[in-house]
Every structure is written in C-alpha cells, then in structure tokens.
Structure 1
Amino acid sequence: MDFLTPSVRVQGLQKRLNSFMQEHIYPNEERYYKESTEGGPWAVQPVVEELKPKAKAADLWNLFLPASEHGAGLSNLEYAPLCEIMGRSLLAPEVFNCSAPDTGNMEVLARYGTPEQQEKWLQPLLEGKARSAFAMTEPAVASSDATNIESSIVRAGNQYVINGRKWFTTGATDPRCNIMIFMGKTDPDNADRYLQQSMILVPKDTPGVTVVRPLPVFGFYGVPDRAAEVVFDNVRVPESNILLGEGRGFEIAQGRLGPGRIHHCMRLIGLAERTLEKMCRRTMERTAFGKLVSEQTVTLERIAESRILIDQARLLTLHAAYMMDTVGNKVAKAQIAMIKVAAPNMACKVIDWAIQAFGGAGVTNDFGLAAAYATARLLRIADGPDEVHRNQIGKLELKKYR
C-alpha cells in the first residue's frame, strides 16, 4: 500500500489548502495570539469569524467527516495529509471547521444521533454557527480509567436528572457553545462496568449548568484549548436527549475517540513540521562562537533527529489511518494506541529542541513555540495518557504468544 502518494482529488485539496494557509492563516497568526490573550477564554477571536466564510467559499469546510452526506466523504487516509497541513497553525483547524471538540461531537451526532438531534444540534455545528463541549473527565477520580466516572444520570419520568463536576470540558467557555455531550452513570450497579455509563445531550443554557472557571494549559487560555471546569447541579433534560440508549456510553466513546486521537496525531505532525522549519530558518540566520548555529554539531544532530522522528510518526499515523479505513477502529486499536503515544512525544521533543535553538525567544510566544509545546504536552494526557495506551499495546503484544 502506497501511503505517501495521495489521490488526485486529495492533491488538489492539498494545493488549495496550502494556498489558503499562505494567504490567510500564516499572516494572521500574530493577530490570533493577540486576540486570544486580550479577549481571554470567554471571548471569540474576531479573526476566526472573519476567516470562516473565506474557508467556506473556498470549499475547504468540514473535510474531517468521512463518507457522509454532511462532509467531504474523505477516508481517514485521505484526510491525513490535509489535517497535517491544518495542524501547522493553531489558528487553522477552527477556520476550516475541523477543530476539537466539535469534530468528535459532530461525528457522534452524525453516527449516533436521531434525526431530531441532528437537526437541532448537528446542523448548526456543521454550518459553523455554533460550538460544542465534551464533558467526560472528572477532578475527583482518576479519569484515565473512565469506569471511575461518578457523575449520575437518573431517569425521572420523561426526563433525566444530571449531577456531577467535570473538568477539562473542552469548549465550555466559548460563548458560541450551545450544546454539551455529557458522560455519566445511568446504571451504577451493573456488574459490567462498561455498561454503567451513558452519554446525553445537555444544552449549555439549561438551569443548573455552571461553567465555574477556565483551565489554562501552561498559562494559555483558549490557545490551544478552551478547557473548563463545569458543575451540573440537578440539571434536567428530556429523555429524548439520550444518545443511542442507556448503557451505550463506552460504545459511543470508542467510536468518538478513535478518529479524535488520530486527528490529534495528524495535526501534531504538521505542527512538528512547521516547528522544524522555524528551527532551520532561525539557526541559519544566527551566529554564535564564530559560526552559524545551524553549523554547530548539536544543531545538526537535532535537526536530523527531528526529521527522522517526524517521518516515523507520519508513516505510523498513515498506517493507522489505513487500518481504520480497511478493518475498522476496533481491529486497529493497537495502531491507534501506538500513534497516540508516538506523535505527542515526538512533537514535544522537536518543539523542545526548537525552543532551545531560539534561546530566550523560544520561551516567549513571539514565534508560537510556547503554545505549540503546550499543545503537544497536553496531548500526552488528553484522550488517554501515554501509560494507558502503552499498557494496551503491551497486552496486545503479549497476547500473540499465549
């Protein structure tokens, strides 16, 4: 299988995406960071809203959705090089309506939502008129084991009553956020721990929903993430808001997190490529101890190692995408777990070397490196920490010899 030669259609999309990035994204990054800092996590960056219609008009919209009436109908393998291009800038994914958590939430609604749920909540997200949040992780338990989640979803007549405290609820502080996907227990006494959980749709303006505070990622609010702590206090929603049915929460989570994980990896490869480019250009312009920084042996070694690591991660990610397309997410779970460990660790290392090469400028965000590192480091924990994925990979490897 040739992973590196995209189809003619994808090559055309790559060309158009790269042109859009050059014309609209890269020149507006400084403005994006400034607006993110000045507006904070509760505000919308005006530059994002200005660029969205341009992306729509260029037909570079909702590229993430696989075979579907709602999206571009690209496979995971076809989407990978496009997602990598978008990942080169933290501004880009939302401009193309391809950013988390909305991509995962839209996939959930497209795959598991009823026609009524899709009309009410999916359509505005597809059009970029609204945003969403995903409420799964909890501060009171080790959420790396999702069976620990304690929040409750209790039926009361034709309603459900929801109680719980969530954090790292991505998207909750966004004023455009109007819907949240909440995971909690409908059947806490079920002998099968994986049938205790359900997912339910909670409109953000429902009485009892309180966004307590934004959570900074290494001091960044809103870049790269709009993480928040949210309290659900006797929140009542109609029974029709349940997704797929009671006890199906883990089933939905696995359907959601597979594509979500690989999208993160695709974007990180683009981010690492852009970082390596910055490191090369910077070190070719700076002189220290009588010669260019790029000619110092330590710099050459780090540039070479970065190229090796990026290409390794890309090939591993493309293979995982191919497996997801051909045999499904469940069979490809080892490949998905491997990229989820490899890509964030690779990106952290490459960005750290670039920060070192930039010196003091690297730890500021004048060159976008600090925000890039925050993104990569967060993703060693988000969607399952390294340790959980490594355990799964190890068990699957040992299973071959039993």
Structure 2
Amino acid sequence: MNETNPTPSQTRLQSSALGGLRVIDFTHFIAGPMATMILADAGADVIKVEKPKGDDQRYFAPAEPSLDGQGASFLWANRNKRSITLDLKTDAGRAIAQALVRDADVVVENFTSRVMAQYGLDHETLSRDNPGLIYCSVSAFGRTGELADRAGFDTIMQAESGFMSLTGYADRDGVRTGPAVMDMACAMMASNAILIALAARHRTGQGQHVDVPLFDTGVLMTGFMTAQYLFSGKVPQRNGNVSNDAVPSGVFPTADLPIFITCTSTSLFRRLFIDVLKMPEVGDDPEMQRIDGRLAQRERVIDILNRVFATDTRENWLLRLDQAKVPAGAVRTLPEALESREMKARGLVTQVPHPTAGSVPNVALPLHFSGTPVVPPVAAPLLGQHTDEVLREVLGYSQAKIAELRAAGVLGLT
C-alpha cells in the first residue's frame, strides 16, 4: 500500500477496502476504465491520466448537452476517479507521469506496448524505480508474441473468439451481443488480476506485470461450449433463445406478454408440468425423466407450452411459476427493467451530483461488503478537473510551477 500521508481527496476512502491504494490509470474506452472504476469504487485513489483532448470515450454518441457535449458512456465507466491532463509528447508531461508512478501501487494501461515504451511508461522502465509496482496491461492479443501490436475491439473479439458463432439463430449468421460483453468481462478479469497481484506482493514484497488480453477473455466467454466441443468434436449450434442443454428453456408468449422459462433438471421439469400446468401425463412421462429424452422431444414440449401459456396473462403465470419454484421471468425492455420492482428493491440506479449537469444517473456495482462497503459514488470527472489538485497534493508542485506548466502546454488547455 502507498505509505504517503492521505490527501483530502483520500480521507473519505480510508475506511474502504482499498483505501490508501493509489492507481495511475492510463486507460481509455471501456475495458481499462471499467477495471479501474471497480478499484475506485472499493476506495482506491485512481488518478486518470488523459491526453489534452481527453479519453475518446468522452465523445461517444449520443452527445449530452448538460455534459458539455460529452457522452453518457464515459460517466458509466469512470466514476470515483480524479482526472489530470498531460501531453505525454512533451518531456515535462512524461516526467510528471513517471513521477506519479514512482510512489504508486498500480498502473493500468490499454495502449499498445510500443506506445507505452515510447513514452518511457512501460513496465520495465517504471519498475526500476518502483519494484513493488503492479503494472496491468489490458491488451488485445497479449503483450508478447507475434500479435502483440495488433489492435482489437470488443466486437472483433466476439467475432474471432468464436463467441459470435454461438449467438443467434441457426438459419442466419451469428450475431454480436448488444452490450460490450468482452470489454466488461475483460475489465472484471483485469480488476481480479490486479487484486491477485497485490495479494502476492503482500507475501513477496515484489510487484509484477499482469497482462489481460481481450482475445483470451473472449475464448473464456464461450463458456462450457468450448469444453463440450473439445471433448466431443461436435460443433455447438445456434438455437436462438432455446438452450442446447435444457428443455424447456426459452421465450414463451402468454395471453399478453412473453415470459422466459428455464428448466435445467428433471425435478424442475416435473414441477412445471405437474404443479403449475396440472399435466402429470407429461411430467410423469418415462421418456421425459432424462435430459436426452426431453431434448429428443423438444418440439413437442414447446408446442404444449405455447398452447397452454396463451390461455392466461404473464402476471398470473409468473405468480404460479414462482409459487412452484420454477425459474421464470418477464421478458422486459430496458425501460421496463429500470422501472421494475426488482430494480427498485435493489436500489441499483441513483442520482449523483455533477458539476455541469446538476445531477446524473448512476448504476451501482453488484458488490456488497459487510465491513468495507464501496465508497459513495462521485460522478466521473470533467476533463482535467483535478490536474492542479493532483500536482499539488501528490507531487508537491507550487501554484506557480503549475501555472508555468500550463502556459507551456504540458497540461493541455484545462
């Protein structure tokens, strides 16, 4: 942990799980920023180093007038951080970045290895002055080997990992998921990797380089289907909302709105047909007592459910299914989900103050600790909002020195 005295910005973080930990964040777009946001939510002092024009994610459409024309997606992945702008193409800008790292615990970056080495911000260079440094690279195809400098994005990883081939319907090409699942999964893997490396440092006293590639994450996200293929040689088929491994599983229309049901075991299948649908002739059918038997009769089961569920409303069916402990849920639009009882019960969406918008929506992490709760959310920073504060508090620069750097263009236009 960083042993320097806490700054005013850190004081509120000291009772948190990662209070006192300093992270220098050179990331942009989604995977890297979300990884550091997880650390920030747990109380780490995350200093986001941005180029003078800022992280490109700030300008993703649609632009929000109340955010000075910036996009909401930046807010989503950058709360609880401090922003400093540096022109790393200048000697002074690089010197400031290196000074920030000298006493830091963690560096996270998602540029190419060539870029970080060019600026003297690669692991080999920085670890000479800070051997306890945890240096995390969120890369496309890894930091070593022939693909080390190849760029990649979420959708490319969905395509090349085979993930996209598993999603969609059999009568058309595979489709990408709407949300950026590879970026988000990679962010979670990166934050886990950083915490693992910190735990190792606690034992050994030594830092290390951690590499978390998007492609490797993409392969992981194909799940057990990869293991099934490696064992059997049988290529998994796209079945839309129908499962390859469970019957019934999928979307079923009711008299008004659709529901989703998943029966992954014989006991659930029997509860559905005997307790909910009052059809023991199906629930007790000897051929239906094994998964392979149900898979063989998938179409028969689906036809029965489509016919029976159409006789009553979604609300009534969900009540009966819940009483029988059969997993089921409403198929909702995003607005419906945000207004749902479950969303309100969990308190996942709140409003937090923002310097230009007054307040902005905030979506919480699914992390709940009894002893070290996540810190109260602070909206993602304006571009360069904390430049003066960080230079004063962390590096001890005078206001005159900061003004000199700003006049020389080292700190951008903020």
Q: TM-score by structure 1 length?
A: 0.24
Relative to its length, the structure with more helix (as a share) is 1
TM-score by length of 2: 0.24
- Greater length-normalized contact order (CA 8 Å, ≥ 6 residues apart): 2
